[in-house]
Amino acid sequence: MSGADAALSPVPRSSLRCPELRRMWCRRSRRRHNRHQLALPNSTAPRSVTILYFNPAPIRRLPVTKHVPQNNPKRRKATAPTASRTTPATRVLLINGLDDLSNATIVGISNGVQFSYTGNIDLMGDLGHPNLSVSQLLLGCLREAPIKMAMPAVIFNCIADPDSHGRSLDRASELLEQARVPVLNRPQNVRKTTRDNIYRLLHNTPGLVVPRTVRLAPRRLSDIRAAMADGDIGMPFLIRPAGQHGGAGLLRVDSESDLGQLERFAFDGRGYYLTEFVDFRSPDGLYRKYRLIMLDGRVYPRHLIASDHWNIHSRSRGTVMQNNLELMAQEQAFLDHPERHFKESVQQALAQIRRELELDYFGVDCGLNADGDLVVFEINACVNVIQRHQAPFGYLNAAVERIRTGVIEMVLRRDRNRSA
């Protein structure tokens, strides 16, 4: 590998958790692919799967003009002696992690086995820049293999979900204790972003409405009632499994008669969040979800989705906004001038959020109530925002590019400050 070597050995079949993956690995274990090289270290534990997901990019070198001696007859008169110079790219290491159950999703096998990992910021394909050389390390939960690589100039911790990736965050913390280079999104700051801790940190902040939230590990329905009483959470309320995002597993309970719907959940000691429901419907009857990206102390608007349902996600665009030019114009206006949508106390509250969390990159999903206060849905780094949009929502791509450029500039700025 150019610029970095991984000391890895072939993986025994017993280290892979499913027969299908074992068969695919045996066929492809020694193959190098255009985009990724996937390697699993040797391990004696049957379920010890630690994946090193490595994508070293070559150092970018500028053209060098060869010096020709003065007495050389082949020397051109117009050629001046120029010293040899090599300008290396900024080396960036992205740290990702498996969840606490060591799960990974296979998303493709046509060009080798390709995996997707939830709970991480997906930046690998978005930091394409001639001055960046990006590598990626995936931390597992059990045994690790030694790797040997050049020291990066900047490390970006992409592990973003403290509910589902506690072990990987622990391992990243141990690893980063040895780091003598700038680290973005340190693990201890990511841990601040659990839903119940966001309530504890911010619920008294002027300009914010942070719904009461408690975490519990119920074994029976009566545990839900007890948590509601202890947390002063009435109806309606929301319940969701800890570590899930994008509306997955989210249920709204409006009355006592709806409590029976909770039987769909597995009350086996796993974590859940109870959150009071705060109505954020706009005067026109629609619900609106704002997404803001906080990047190195600056606010970047990402989108404004309007829906006729309170549970808003990216797929909600197809229900109300698809053929509504007025709603798309409202979103465009928000992307161009987000400060016009928030009163002064909200802008001060956003600055307070940055000070409390001390994260370099994170997102705020929110709505606005009738008083113009910001209703918090979630605040964490577990947001993947750099996706391209097709018509009729192509106007979003300018905002996406601003965020992508902001991430690159933040990394380069950290390297410059380190070298100063």
Residue 209, pLDDT score: 98
Encode pLDDT of 349-359 as tens digits. Answer: 999 999 999 99
Residue 53 has pLDDT above 50, yes or no: no
Whether residue 143 has pLDDT greater than 70: no
Instruction: Kindly tell me the burial class for residue 248, based on how many C-beta atoms sit within 10 Å of its own C-beta (0-12, 13-18, 19 or more).
Output: exposed
Please tell me whether residue 94 adopts helix, strand or coil conformation.
Answer: strand
Instruction: Answer with the residue of higher pLDDT: 42 or 355.
Output: 355
Residue 383, Cβ density class (10 Å: 0-12 exposed, 13-18 middle, ≥19 buried) = buried
Mean residue pLDDT across the chain: 81
Lowest-pLDDT range, 54-58, 286-290, 329-333?
54-58
- pLDDT, residue 314, reads 84
Helix, strand, coil percent content, the chain, rounded in steps of 5: 30, 25, 50
Task: Label residue 43 by pLDDT band (50, 70, 90).
Answer: very low
Nearest CA to 407 among 350, 343, 363, 342? 363
Q: How many CA atoms lie within 13 A of 27 on its CB side?
A: 10
Mean pLDDT over 317-329 rounds to 93
| pLDDT the model gives residue 108 | 77
What's the number of CA atoms in the CB half-sphere (13 Å) around residue 387? 10
> Is pLDDT of 1 > 60?
no
Q: How far apart are CA 224 and CA 228, in angstroms?
A: 6
Give the mean model confidence (pLDDT) for residues 92-109: 87
User: Per-residue DSSP letters for 215-256?
Assistant: EE--SSHHHHHHHHHHTT--SSEEEEETT--TTTT-EEE-SG
Write out pLDDT tens, residues 256-293.
899 888 988 889 989 999 999 999 999 999 999 999 99
Give the least confident one: 8-12, 291-295, 341-345, 380-384: 8-12
From the list 54, 31, 9, the residue with the least C-alpha distance to 109 is: 31
Using CA atoms, how far residue 352 sits from 35, 175, 297, 378, in Å, is 40, 29, 11, 15
Q: Give the pLDDT confidence score for residue 283 in this predicted structure.
A: 95
What's the pLDDT score for residue 79? Answer: 46
Tell me what pLDDT residue 246 has. Answer: 73
Nearest to 158 by CA among 404, 381, 358: 381
The strand pair at 148-149 and 4-5 is best described as antiparallel
Q: How confident is the model at residue 334 (pLDDT cuts 50, 70, 90)?
A: very high
Q: Are the beta carbons of 197 and 210 closer than 8 angstroms? A: no
Q: Residue 22, exposed/middle/buried by CB under 10 A (0-12, 13-18, 19+)?
A: middle
Residue 72 confidence (pLDDT):
52
Mean pLDDT of 305-329: 92
Q: Do 301 and 399 contact (CB within 8 A), yes or no? A: yes
pLDDT of the residue at 142: 54
What is the pLDDT confidence band of residue 2, given thresholds at 50, 70 and 90?
very low
| Backbone torsions φ then ψ of 102, nearest 5 degrees | 60, 40
The pLDDT of residue 103 is 84
What's the pLDDT at 16?
A: 38
Position 105 scores a pLDDT of 81
> Residue 320: is its pLDDT beyond 80?
yes
H/E/C letters for each residue in 264-279? HCCCCCCCEEEEECCC
Percent of the chain past pLDDT 70, that is, above it, reads 77
CB atoms within 10 A of CB 411: 26
- Interval 232-259: pLDDT, tens: 999 999 999 998 887 778 999 999 899 8
Q: Confidence class of residue 44 from pLDDT cuts 50, 70 and 90?
A: very low
Res. 40 pLDDT band, cuts 50 70 90:
very low
pTM above 0.95, yes or no: no
At 9, the pLDDT band (50, 70, 90 cuts) reads very low
Peptide bond preceding 46: is omega within 30 degrees of 0, i.e. cis? no
Cα–Cα dist 51/40, whole Å:
5
pLDDT tens figures, 390-404: 999 999 999 999 999
Element (H, E) at 90: strand 90-97
